[in-house]
Chains A and B, each alone.
Chain A
Amino acid sequence: MPESILSVEHLKKHFPTKQGLVRAIDDITFSVAPGDTLGLVGESGSGKTTTAQCVVGMYPPTSGEIRFKEEQIGTAFKRRPKYVKGDLRIVFQDPGSSLNPKRTIKQILSIPLKVHHIGTQHDRLARMKELLNMVELPADEYLYKYPQAIGGGEKQMVALARALATNPSFVLLDEPTSALDVSVQGKIINLLIRLQRELNLTYLFITHDLSLMRNVSSRVAIMYLGKLCEIAPTVEFFERPIHPYTKMLLSSIPVVSDAEEALKPRKAISKGEIPSPVNIPPGCSFHSRCLARNGRCAEDDPAMVEVAEGHFVRCHAALESELSGHGPA
């Protein structure tokens, strides 16, 4: 394994509610190498946003470790060292709510610069213009506007500029395009890819759009009910998916042509809905919807196993057939 910039080990986040304990994240382990993009994919309610919010420090984790550049940061943001707050940034899903409607873009961009004492007052003006140019917005025009005067995609670009203001090395992207028009989604994605190259950024890209992952991420992780099912390098993930849930997701990507259809794994029928995280099925949490389940699945929870270089799967049935198909590993 290459050295990692972010590593999450046995992370758990439970929320006590009136209905019972919600296990939003239930023991997940993954790591991200510098310069990589890890795509974290899952249905609504699978815990992917909670994962992002734990990593960025909005909630302290129930248990487990988060290490960022060898620094233990598994705490609430208040206890984190200040440089981590500048080095590990987040872009939220809804740009309408992440920009203060009563402040101009100049004021919004100046907060991280002031907080982290970057530059003198005059340097900051130049830096803010540079940031806006970086996200392809005309600086002189946009610097003095209020967020309500600009479009959704532009707002998201401003949010991205704000995240980049402190020169971070790691950016969490919490569904950065799902609140936007399709016409601007592509623009934002291209911008993200270009900025990653230019600024040597590492991304944790959270989304429910699998087809997006093929273009953006270098590795993909699938999350289901607070647990990871499968992590694999992107090419391998799309060409040789192992977990039944992954197959189900891949086969449900809508396609237009037969050529595209041929790329997808053999039709796996999607059935059922994601169960409530209050009432997680015993054993493997996916067994209630799984087509490949066997007797063990309802009883004991499978462990994460590395089946190929960097390819991890957590499934009894898949592993058994994998072992018989490939001989002893």
Chain B
Amino acid sequence: MRQERKADFLASLAQRRRTLAKGWYKYSRNPLSVLGLVVLVLIGLAAALAPHITPYPAQAGAYTDFQNAGKPPSFEHFFGTDRIGRDVFTRVVFGYRFSLLLGIVVLGLGVAPGVVLGLIAGYHRGTWVEAVIMRTTDVFLAVPPLVLALAITAMLTPNLLNEMFAIALLWWPWYCRLVFAVSSSLRSQFFVREAELSGASEAHILFREMLPNCLAPILTKMTLDMGIVILLGASLSFIGLGAQPPTPCLGTMVADGAKRLPGEWWGTIFPALAIVIVILAFNLVGDGLRDVFAVEEV
């Protein structure tokens, strides 16, 4: 009895490993996607270990050293120093912490309700439930995102938390739309019908039957959206509605440094490049994921 159970566990594990290996094979055929993944892992590690690997961790936040202010890039300061003498490299690495946190929190807050609502609307296609959910979604989608985020953050106190909240609030409708499109077509598939007829609960049908078939577009969109969320967060910070100084935030750094262009270019160019690189990396990973799922569909 016990042995049988063990054999069952091992066989399930082997199947899972085969699926993963197949996925990785498809992903790794695109070298750019692999590069994107490597860059992301490096950025993630750097952000997580920021206090230990940056040369001047004390200079990330409130710190002034006017003697070293406005120094160009050198061996001591890879990216130079800003107008009050802080090491730009240190601040960029710390800035990634907030950017990644913003992306993760926003997508976490936005995707979950969007997906659940989309599944419910898709399952109840053609009823008042669908009408209520999808029309509400339409209302949110009718307002331009940046304007809505501006309005919300301006109304509340501008800080990182409210910035996350504002962006999350305008992110869920996209996922609701996306998942609704997939789930409403799954609704008439016979495996969903079969589950219904055998008496399975609605929760089972939504999360065990329909959700696994929606995961491919959700994951792909999430990686592509990470870049957009980070950019939107940087834009809000740039106009002063995001994280406030002295918090090291890439958008704020770009805005600050821009006042001293073109002379002290390093204060702006390096944080801006950091934003570009992380967005690019996320997009490359998103493309790779799309390949993994796209081939599987055929």
Contact A104/B15 with A98-B190, A98-B191, A115-B200 known, Cβ cut-off 8 Å: yes
Contact A125/B4 with A104-B15, A144-B15 known, Cβ cut-off 8 Å: yes
Cα separation A104 to B201 with both chains bound (whole Å) = 19
Question: With A58-B193, A115-B200, A115-B204 given, can you name 17 additional A-B contacts, CB distance below 8 Å?
Answer: A82-B199, A86-B199, A90-B197, A97-B190, A98-B194, A99-B191, A102-B212, A103-B208, A104-B12, A111-B200, A111-B204, A125-B8, A126-B4, A144-B11, A144-B12, A145-B15, A162-B194
Q: Are A77 and B4 in contact (CB under 8 A)?
A: no
Give A110-136 interface residues, CB cut-off 8 Å to B: 111-112, 115-116, 122, 125-126
Give B120-167 interface residues, CB cut-off 8 Å to A: none
Indicate which residue in A92, A100, A122 contacts B212 across the interface (CB closer than 8 Å): A100
Give B161-201 interface residues, CB cut-off 8 Å to A: 189-191, 193-201
Give B18-40 interface residues, CB cut-off 8 Å to A: 19
Q: Are B198 and A115 in contact (CB under 8 A)?
A: yes
Nearest CB to that of B189 among chain A residues? Answer: A97
Among A92, A126, A166, the most chain B Cβ lie within 10 Å of the Cβ of A92
CB distance from B100 to the nearest CB of A (A): 29
Contact A106/B12 with A85-B199, A125-B5 known, Cβ cut-off 8 Å: yes
For B11, what are the chain A residues with a Cβ–Cβ distance below 8 Å? 140, 143-144
10 pairs, CB–CB < 8 Å, chain A vs chain B: A77-B196, A77-B197, A82-B199, A89-B198, A90-B194, A101-B213, A102-B215, A115-B199, A122-B5, A126-B4
Q: Are B197 and A85 in contact (CB under 8 A)?
A: yes
CB distance from A30 to the nearest CB of B (A): 21
For A140, what are the chain B residues with a Cβ–Cβ distance below 8 Å? 11
Indicate which residue in A82, A89, A100, A115 contacts B213 across the interface (CB closer than 8 Å): A100
Q: Are B195 and A111 in contact (CB under 8 A)?
A: yes
Cα separation A56 to B195 with both chains bound (whole Å) = 13
Q: List 9 A-B pairs, minimum CB-CB distance, nearest first.
A: A102-B212, A98-B190, A85-B199, A144-B15, A100-B191, A97-B190, A92-B190, A112-B198, A115-B199
Give A76-101 interface residues, CB cut-off 8 Å to B: 77, 82, 85-86, 89-90, 92, 94, 97-101
For B194, what are the chain A residues with a Cβ–Cβ distance below 8 Å? 90, 92, 98, 162
Indicate which residue in B5, B19, B189, B198 contacts A111 across the interface (CB closer than 8 Å): B198
Cα separation A164 to B189 with both chains bound (whole Å) = 20
Give B191-229 interface residues, CB cut-off 8 Å to A: 191, 193-201, 204, 208-209, 212-213, 215
Among A98, A115, A144, the most chain B Cβ lie within 10 Å of the Cβ of A144
Cα separation A115 to B195 with both chains bound (whole Å) = 9
Cα separation A145 to B12 with both chains bound (whole Å) = 9
Is A57 engaged at the interface, CB distance under 8 Å to the other chain? yes
Q: Are B14 and A116 in contact (CB under 8 A)?
A: no
CB distance from B289 to the nearest CB of A (A): 16
Nearest CB to that of A85 among chain B residues? Answer: B199
Nearest CB to that of A108 among chain B residues? Answer: B191
Q: Are A122 and B1 in contact (CB under 8 A)?
A: yes
For B199, what are the chain A residues with a Cβ–Cβ distance below 8 Å? 77, 82, 85-86, 115-116
Among B1, B191, B209, B212, the most chain A Cβ lie within 10 Å of the Cβ of B191
For A90, what are the chain B residues with a Cβ–Cβ distance below 8 Å? 194, 197
Q: Are B191 and A97 in contact (CB under 8 A)?
A: yes
Nearest CB to that of B216 among chain A residues? Answer: A102
CB distance from A172 to the nearest CB of B (A): 10
For A144, what are the chain B residues with a Cβ–Cβ distance below 8 Å? 11-12, 14-15
Nearest CB to that of A128 among chain B residues? Answer: B8
Q: Are B198 and A85 in contact (CB under 8 A)?
A: yes
Cα separation A115 to B1 with both chains bound (whole Å) = 24
Give A265-280 interface residues, CB cut-off 8 Å to B: none
For A106, what are the chain B residues with a Cβ–Cβ distance below 8 Å? 12
For B19, what are the chain A residues with a Cβ–Cβ distance below 8 Å? 146
Give A125-175 interface residues, CB cut-off 8 Å to B: 125-126, 140, 143-146, 162, 166
For B209, what are the chain A residues with a Cβ–Cβ distance below 8 Å? 100, 103
For A77, what are the chain B residues with a Cβ–Cβ distance below 8 Å? 196-197, 199
Cα separation A103 to B191 with both chains bound (whole Å) = 11
For B201, what are the chain A residues with a Cβ–Cβ distance below 8 Å? 115
Contact A166/B191 with A101-B213, A122-B5, A143-B11 known, Cβ cut-off 8 Å: no
For B14, what are the chain A residues with a Cβ–Cβ distance below 8 Å? 144
For B197, what are the chain A residues with a Cβ–Cβ distance below 8 Å? 56-58, 77, 85, 89-90
Cα separation A270 to B5 with both chains bound (whole Å) = 60
Cα separation A92 to B195 with both chains bound (whole Å) = 12
For A103, what are the chain B residues with a Cβ–Cβ distance below 8 Å? 208-209, 212
For A102, what are the chain B residues with a Cβ–Cβ distance below 8 Å? 212-213, 215
CB distance from A54 to the nearest CB of B (A): 12
Cα separation A145 to B201 with both chains bound (whole Å) = 25
